[in-house]
């Protein structure tokens, strides 16, 4: 069957950015320059023109940008996304007879004026050998004549006439004059002609292109634009129930407020609290995850729901809604945001169990199916059934949990185990919430297989936990970060890296002592624009596992209240503060896409740079980091710098300032030696600056 | 907005093969095993199952194949395409509650029988750490009890009940019995259970899966399946007008018949003739492309159309339709097929010019626009206007040209300059013709930029000319052939390589003498499964260009009749014959996808292998080629063999037989030395054979 319009000769392929054939939006951040590229071509020798069309979802019409032709039929264009939310873009291309005419006329006139023809190069890649004679100059008798040029002028006048019909007002009259002048020239049959159009005239004609047979992809593509904090964020996690200054009292939200100055002074911008809802009583776990809690045991905040309420309630021991609202305000004053933990699972005491039994799986014996990972049983947790006949009711209720807290001012959520809830639910839920609140950040706490982690990101999660926690060797750090900071992954996945969490005390921290805590902190803060620590366990170097070979903490705060001495002398809080200061004052560390690894001849030293171009009058910002990954021994090595990535010319002298110590070095060559002692400071964090000439 | 069915939890991504998001079919050959792969996954711990559905366009229902799970959520399946034409395939996936139940039950029983639980490994890539406690063994009091297992049996019986409702006849009764036996077991409450299902029972249940919430991509994907000759073909091009044994007479189709035994004996399977239509008189070109022909000059066969007719006529000097039909029959008897040249362009004398002036561009002075590449003019050629208001009539007429010759038994077309005709036309034209004649082969003679060449292949062209003619250095040969013999390109593009054509006498042949002709022939015949030469110019080493720096032949056969001495002693016809014999008797050389390059420590020696697996009782076939690319000097070098690609084990002795000379060598190691003298034989073409133990 023939197409509806078979005269559409232009093909548009390989539009980027594009995720899974346009199934999901690509993700960008507010203020980003979006580079769009595509392959656009047609048959034959005619010139092609192409435009990028783009708009924010609330714009009523497209903005239009002329694409630039690169070699080999690739085209590109750039626009800035200056509003949060969903954007659309597409491309249109057409055979541009006017542009072809201009180029051909120039060649005819050049041939005529030279009185001879330059020999045409013949290469199938860069030019076209369509005609068997293309490699040969024109034969005598086939050269351009004044008559040929007169005909060309008349053809051109016809093309301008057509532009007149598409124009109006002053443009139409100006175009009419151009057409007339071309016809006059044609009538003169001079022996020699100059090129007849000014560049203003050419631009005026090009302003009214012939879109009769314009090609356009069937589907628009989409971008989702997040706010700056989605790209660059520093998270601090703490258990509010351990925040009490009185060791005999359960910590309260008001106690958290008292610690805010300290957290803000460390330079964090997001305070993340584990679930603050009422904790279940049935099958409550005791300290160290013991099966039966004793009276007074506080239970796990992730066993959500009790007679006091569920996901829209506050654990009475933590405080009231008034306290909550007060905390949200206090955070604002300290330049901090609250991240809430949303864990969609229920204790047997959760109100949903009674009110919506259809949201759970029922066993043949009439009981509700608790969480299992056979043969292990978690009788204190009921998972939700995403195959419930009332899935629509379930989805609505879950989305309303986010909306409930959003209505109380929360704009950041850390979502617990999203990969155990149906992926189509997340896509619907996040998109629905984002429609009216595009500034909300969702962090996916999924530690599972790559396809599922990436699918959560495609479905809408703003940031994602990563495998960073388990990537300790140089080669695995490098290959993992190269994967997640480059397209296609970086087009939908934004990492948030954590050296520890309440669930994960990695062996490297158990065994590496204080240097390991410093190393992993430096890696997290400088490899990724978003990171977080679970404190004060991290600053205080808490490193004892519940048992050998386990990644669980001994006396884990998940099951009991802990008392922390934040002022302990061995705390690495000063290093945390320093690193956050460096991150906040260096734009290079506020993005992931510029990450670049430099070779070092020592497998224990990892070296990488990040950069940000000059902007708003600020010069380019370039950070170069070298980390000794060995927690025990001094390591030295020669770095082979990729100077181009640092913005440094060949044989140019430049300054590197270690921002951790303030020491300046003057370097010139690619090769530079570093030696790093883990007990003192396992890394250099250099700012690289060109010297004034 | 919620989806229609939100309980569909499985995601299917990255289905391969797939061209441009399914916009075009992937291409395969009859008898191919098609390997389909995809990423398929769901949330949580439930098992996923998936099937491949596939059918030929004439099948009324899908064939169904269970996909196999590979690591990391990848799945694969293979089916054989045993009919020409269009195939469809898609994938469906679902959460398999029965399979999950089986696996969980096995774990429960194992735990029970061991009386202890193996410590679960925790690695985010290979296993799932969904639950914060996954790294720990179950706590006392949470171990599997006989009651747990009894409940599991009852749950299983329910799943089997559901299968009963989907089954019928004997299967339904057998399933009912399985359900009953599970219920009986559950009632017994034994202290210890064996696994209750035979593998036959499991398979029977799995035969009736629960597809309530099955996931399936919106669009089916397509494959186009060509016949064997599309993959493996040896083309010989000659000008029939030069075929006369009488030097004073214009060659005729009957004269071509007389040469067929010779061409067949050389081992070719396709005879390709330049256009055989009437040649235009207006602006006819003389010898060496001179502008005005003299009386008696025969003109270019590509200037098609005269009062004697157009694309559906035969040039009277060549013969009649009876002669044509006779030639087609004669070719069959010699195991040859005819390839016709279809060049959609017209001489000013073509009947279309008078009958369909609307198919051409008219200039303001009333004349028809001739072909131009400004400032060059080709007044003997009128291009067709694919923006004609009667584009539908034009498309129909052009397609009817192919149909006309197909009705006379032609099954192979070489299409001249398809890249100067609208790409959507080709897609429609080839697909339309292929609907009733899927065995027709279309070779695209396009020497232009990569995107356009690839777009022609995607649009339906079976084979394509390549840049081989201009790729002479080792690195450019290697990188080009790696590009075109691997996905994605090999999924839609099939190369047909030509060391020369009537348009292209490459400098390497002009300057390299007989060794260059041997080298380029060996490369063409062994690098690509499809190749062709323009003869007898090639065998006879015709190497004089029309002028220095030109790729045109002096006294080109395009513009005049040539007399060739096929029996000349310097002819390399014996080498052509030998190489075609080697190609015809070695399956390894009949495919492109197995091509693999081996390292050699000399930049003038190119080494590569091709292989075919054992089939129909024949052992695997492995060919290893080493070519000296220097036409002047002997070159020697150490080849570092990738033994695995040759099917040879480490430290295994094997035989290599040079099929050009019959000499055998016994090799053992990766490293082997070759020395090649271009004047004698610039290559080894080895058959690699394992020695009997």
A133 confidence band (pLDDT: 50, 70, 90): very low
**Which regions of A277-420 does DSSP assign to beta strands (E)?**
337-342, 345-346, 371-373, 376-378, 382-383, 412-416
Cβ(B592)–Cβ(B326) below 8 Å: no
> Are the beta carbons of A470 and B123 separated by less than 8 Å?
yes
CATH for A52:
2.60.40.10
Closest chain B residue by Cα to residue A145: B375
Cα dist from B521 to A533, B532, B592, whole Å: 66, 9, 17
Tokens 């005026």 correspond to: A204
Characterize A93-113 residue by residue with b for buried, 16 or more Cβ atoms within 10 angstroms of its Cβ, and e for exposed.
bbbbbbbbbbebbebbbebbe
Helices assigned H by DSSP within A449-506: 450-459, 474-484
How close B21 comes to chain A (CA, Å)?
Answer: 6
Summarize the confidence of residues A165-174 as an average pLDDT. Answer: 96
**CB atoms A130 and B419 under 8 Å:** yes
How many CB pairs (< 8 A) connect A and B? 306
Reply yes or no on whether the pLDDT at A130 is more than 60. Answer: no
Residue A693 confidence (pLDDT): 66
Angstrom distances, CA of residue A159 to CA of A92, A214, A263, A393, B404: 20, 17, 68, 61, 38
Interchain CB distance below 8 Å, A377 and B142: yes
* B531 and B548, same domain (yes or no): yes
**Chain A residues touching residue B135 (CB < 8 angstroms):** 550-552
- Indicate whether B457 and B604 sit together in one domain: no
B4 domain residue, yes or no: no
Mean pLDDT score, B56-71: 97
Tens of pLDDT, residue by residue over A135-146, are: 445 555 567 888
CATH of the domain at A319: 3.20.20.80
For residue A262, count CB atoms less than 10 angstroms from its CB and return exposed for 0-12, middle for 13-18, buried for 19 or more: middle
Q: Name which of B43, B138, B290 is nearest A375 (Cβ-Cβ).
A: B138
Residue B315 lies in a domain: yes
Residues B506 and B460 reside in one and the same domain: yes
Q: Beta partners for A167?
A: none
pLDDT classification of B692: cutoffs 50, 70, 90: confident
Q: Of the candidates A540, A564, A544, which has an alpha carbon nearest to the alpha carbon of residue A554? A: A544
HSE-up (13 A, CA, CB side) for residue A175: 25
Chain B residue whose CA is closest to A112: B375
Residues A255 and A147 in one domain: no
Using pLDDT thresholds of 50, 70 and 90, give the confidence band for residue B112.
Answer: confident
Does residue B375 have a cis peptide bond before it, meaning omega lies within 30 degrees of 0? yes
Residues A391, A394, A396, A398, CA torsion sign:
negative
Give me the pLDDT at residue B142, please: 65
Looking at the fold, whether A65 and A86 belong to one and the same domain comes out as: yes
User: A664 pLDDT band (50/70/90 cuts)?
Assistant: very high
CATH number at residue B685: 2.60.40.1180
**Same domain, residue pair A136 and A276:** no
Which chain B residues touch A134 with a CB distance below 8 Å?
Answer: 373, 376
Q: Kindly report the number of other CB atoms within 10 A of residue A613's CB atom.
A: 14
| For residue B210, pLDDT beyond 80 | yes
How many domains, in total, are found in chain A?
Answer: 4
Cβ–Cβ below 8 Å for B552 and A377: no
**What CA–CA distance (Å, rounded) separates B522 from B144?**
70
Q: Give which of A612, A626, A615, A465 is closest to A534, Cα–Cα.
A: A465
Instruction: Tell whether the model's pLDDT for residue A62 goes beyond 70.
Output: yes
Give the dihedral of Cα atoms B540, B543, B546, B547; nearest 10 deg. Answer: -170
- Gap between the Cα atoms of A148 and A156, Å rounded: 12
Residues of B in contact with A376 (CB under 8 A): 117, 120, 131, 133-134, 137-138, 142
User: Does residue B571 form part of some domain?
Assistant: no
Give a yes or no: residue A213 inside a domain: no
Torsion angles phi and psi, residue A77, rounded to 5: -160, 160
pLDDT of residue B192: 80
Q: What is the pLDDT of residue A139?
A: 52
Q: How far apart are CA A455 and CA B147, in angstroms?
A: 38
What's the pTM value of the predicted model, to 2 decimals? 0.94
CA–CA dist A481, A610 (Å, integer): 12
Domain of B108?
98-206
Is residue B178 domain-shared with residue B296, that is, in the same domain?
no
Nearest-Cα residue of chain A relative to residue B428: A2
Q: How far apart are CA A281 and CA B142, in angstroms?
A: 17
Q: Which of B310-314, B374-378, B415-419, B670-674 has the lowest mean pLDDT?
A: B374-378
Check whether residue A282 and residue A267 sit in a common domain.
yes
Sign of CA dihedral B176, B177, B182, B184: positive
**Residues B467, B400: one domain?**
yes
In a domain, B570, yes or no: no
Q: How far apart, in whole angstroms, are the C-alpha atoms of residue B357 and residue B117?
A: 86
What's the confidence (pLDDT) of residue B141?
57
- Reduce the secondary structure of A195-253 to three states and give it as a string: CCCCHHHHHHHHCCCCCCCCECCCCCEEEEEECHHHHCEEEEECCHHHCCCCCCCCCCH
Dihedral sign from CA coordinates of B411, B417, B420, B423: positive
Q: How far apart, in whole angstroms, are the C-alpha atoms of residue A287 and residue A292?
A: 9
Rounded percentage of chain B residues whose pLDDT exceeds 70? 96
Which of B3, B213, B375 is opposite residue A107, by nearest beta carbon?
B375
Active site residue B601: no
Nearest to A550 among B135, B419, B551 (CB): B135
Distance CA A299, CA A283 (A): 9
Q: Determine the Cα–Cα distance for residues A253 and A255; give it in Å rounded to an integer.
A: 5
**pLDDT value of residue B131:** 41
pLDDT in tens, A580-592: 999 999 999 999 9
Q: Which two tokens stand for residue A21?
A: 């054939």
Query: Looking at the structure, do residues B57 and B104 belong to the same domain, yes or no?
Result: no
The answer to whether position A619 is within a domain reads yes
Residue B590 lies in a domain: no
B659 in Cβ contact with B582 (< 8 Å): yes
pLDDT in tens, A464-488: 999 999 999 999 999 999 999 999 9
- The verdict on a CB contact (< 8 Å) between A424 and B3 is yes
> Within a 13 Å sphere around the CA of A77, how many CA atoms are in the beta-carbon half?
21
Mean pLDDT of all residues in A58-85: 98
Predicted local distance difference test score (pLDDT) of residue B118: 41
- Our CA dihedral for A512, A518, A522, A528, rounded to 10 degrees, sits at 60
Report the pLDDT averaged over residues B656-661: 98
Is residue B125 scored above 80 in pLDDT? no
Please tell me the predicted confidence (pLDDT) of residue B140: 54
Nearest to B589 by CA among B533, B530, B629: B530
B465 in the same domain as B322? yes
pLDDT of residue B191: 77
B604 shares a domain with B535: no
The yes-or-no verdict on residue A127 having pLDDT over 80 is: no
Cα–Cα distance for residue pair B163/B105, rounded to 1 Å: 18
Q: What is the pLDDT of residue B114?
A: 62
Q: Looking at A99, A257, A380, A416, which residue is catalytic? A: A416
Structure confidence at residue A213 (pLDDT): 97
Is residue B504 domain-resident?
Answer: yes
Q: How confident is the model at residue A82 (pLDDT cuts 50, 70, 90)?
A: very high
Give the integer Cα–Cα distance in Å for B260 and B338: 11
Percent of residues, chain A, with pLDDT higher than 90: 90
ipTM surpassing 0.85:
yes
Q: What is the mean pLDDT of residues B427-450?
A: 98
> Is B416 annotated in the active site?
yes
pLDDT tens for A611-633 read 999 988 899 999 999 999 999 99
CA B153, B155, B161, B165 dihedral sign is negative
Residue A675 has pLDDT above 60, yes or no: yes
Task: State the pLDDT at residue B133.
Answer: 42
Average pLDDT over residues B113-118: 49
Q: What is the pLDDT of residue B124?
A: 42
The pLDDT assigned to B391 comes to 98
Q: How far is B555 from chain A (nearest CA, A)?
A: 14
């Amino acid at each position: 069957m023939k197409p509806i319009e078979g005269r559409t000769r232009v093909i548009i392929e390989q539009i980027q950015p594009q995720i899974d054939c346009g199934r999901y939006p690509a993700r960008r951040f507010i203020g980003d320059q979006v580079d769009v590229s595509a392959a656009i071509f047609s048959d034959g020798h005619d010139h092609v023109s192409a435009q990028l069309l783009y708009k924010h979802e609330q714009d009523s019409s497209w903005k239009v940008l002329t694409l630039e032709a690169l070699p080999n039929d690739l085209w590109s264009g750039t626009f800035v996304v200056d509003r949060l939310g969903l954007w659309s873009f597409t491309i249109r291309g057409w055979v541009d007879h006017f542009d072809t005419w201009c180029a051909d006329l120039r060649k005819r006139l050049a041939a005529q004026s030279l009185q001879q023809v330059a020999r045409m190069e013949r290469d199938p890649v860069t030019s076209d050998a369509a005609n068997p004679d293309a490699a040969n100059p024109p034969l005598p008798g086939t050269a351009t004549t004044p008559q040929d040029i007169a005909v060309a002028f008349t053809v051109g006048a016809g093309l301008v006439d057509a532009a007149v019909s598409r124009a109006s007002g002053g443009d139409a009259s100006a175009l009419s004059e151009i057409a007339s002048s071309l016809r006059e020239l044609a009538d003169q049959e001079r022996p020699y002609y100059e090129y007849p159009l000014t560049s203003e005239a050419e631009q005026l004609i090009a302003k009214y292109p012939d879109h009769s047979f314009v090609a356009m992809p069937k589907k628009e593509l989409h971008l989702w634009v997040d706010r700056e904090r989605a790209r660059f964020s520093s998270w601090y996690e703490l258990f509010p129930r351990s925040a009490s200054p009185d060791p005999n009292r359960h910590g309260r939200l008001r106690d958290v407020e008292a610690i805010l100055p300290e957290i803000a002074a460390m330079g964090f911008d997001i305070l993340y609290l584990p679930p603050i809802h009422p904790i279940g009583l049935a099958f409550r776990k005791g300290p160290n995850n013991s099966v039966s809690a004793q009276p007074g045991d506080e239970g796990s905040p992730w066993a959500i729901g009790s007679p006091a309420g569920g996901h829209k309630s506050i654990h009475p021991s933590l405080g009231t809604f008034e306290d909550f609202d007060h905390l949200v305000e206090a955070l604002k004053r300290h330049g901090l945001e609250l991240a809430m933990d949303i864990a969609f699972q229920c204790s047997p005491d959760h109100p949903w169990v009674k009110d919506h039994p259809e949201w759970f799986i029922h066993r043949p014996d009439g009981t509700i199916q608790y969480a299992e990972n056979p043969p292990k049983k978690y009788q204190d947790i009921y998972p939700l059934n995403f195959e419930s006949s009332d899935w629509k009711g379930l989805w609505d209720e879950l989305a309303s949990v986010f909306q409930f807290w959003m209505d109380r001012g929360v704009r950041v959520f850390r979502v617990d185990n999203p990969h155990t809830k149906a992926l189509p639910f997340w896509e619907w839920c996040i998109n629905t919430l984002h429609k009216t609140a595009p500034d909300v950040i969702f962090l996916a706490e999924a530690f599972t297989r790559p396809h599922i982690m990436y699918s959560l990101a495609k479905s809408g999660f703003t940031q994602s936990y990563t495998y960073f926690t388990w990537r300790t060797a140089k080669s695995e750090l490098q290959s993992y970060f190269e994967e997640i900071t480059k397209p296609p992954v970086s087009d939908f996945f934004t990492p948030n890296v954590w050296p520890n969490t309440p669930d994960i005390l990695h062996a490297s921290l158990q065994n590496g002592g204080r240097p390991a805590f410093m190393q992993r902190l430096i890696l997290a803060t400088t490899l990724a624009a978003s990171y977080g620590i679970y404190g004060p366990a991290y600053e205080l170097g808490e490193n004892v596992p519940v048992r050998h070979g386990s990644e669980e903490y001994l006396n884990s705060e998940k099951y009991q209240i802990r008392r922390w001495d934040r002022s302990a002398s061995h705390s690495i809080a000063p290093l945390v503060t320093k690193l956050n200061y460096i991150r906040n004052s260096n734009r290079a560390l506020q993005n992931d896409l510029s990450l670049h690894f430099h070779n070092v001849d020592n497998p224990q030293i990892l070296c990488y740079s990040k950069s940000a171009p000059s902007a708003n009058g600020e010069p380019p910002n370039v950070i170069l980091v070298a980390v000794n990954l060995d927690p025990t021994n001094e390591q030295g090595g020669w770095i082979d710098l990729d100077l181009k990535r640092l913005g440094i010319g060949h044989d140019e002298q430049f300054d590197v300032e270690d921002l951790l110590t303030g020491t300046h070095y003057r370097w010139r060559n690619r090769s530079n030696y570093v030696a790093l002692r883990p007990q003192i400071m396992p890394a250099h964090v250099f700012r690289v600056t060109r010297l004034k000439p």
